Amino acid sequence: MQFSNRFAIAIHMFAYIHTYEGEEKMTSANLARSVNVNPVVIRQILSKLKAAGLLNSSQGSSHIEIAKNPEDITLLDIFRALDMMREDRLFGYHSNPSTECPVGRNIHAVLDDQLLDVQRAMENSLQSVTLADVFKDTASYVWR
């Protein structure tokens, strides 16, 4: 199973906004054209990013802008804004393993710490990349 593509779409949105800021209207329709999704998807993601204070926009306006300095927004900020984890856990569990089975009875004790370590490693990696890093990389590809 994969994560939702909302995370990659959100990063694409930021890169597009940064790349074309001041050159064209920042509308959900224009963003949707670049991402190649329905504008409704863009508006749903935009709403979450706006609620997290990462983007600014006004309903009915063609002005969507990045709310903070790109050096101050990490990929982890975006990941968290999109509610990509349930109950702050990256990995979900089946809630009712058999207590009659030795494996089922102990599976959480076996996996909890290891999976939490994996989650922390992923969060640390996402925390180390800022939008400024993404924008720098985007510029090196966009204008080739």
Q: What is the pLDDT of residues 87-126, one digit of tens each?
A: 677 777 777 889 999 999 998 888 888 988 999 999 999 9
Tell me the CATH architecture of domain 2-87+130-143: Orthogonal Bundle (1.10)
Q: Which residue has the tokens 């999704």?
A: 37
Could you state, in order of their start, the residue ranges of all structural domains in the chain?
2-87+130-143
- Tell me the pLDDT tens digit for each residue of 47-81: 999 999 999 987 666 689 999 999 999 999 999 99
What pTM, to 2 d.p., does this model score?
0.85
Q: How far apart are CA 66 and CA 64, in angstroms?
A: 7
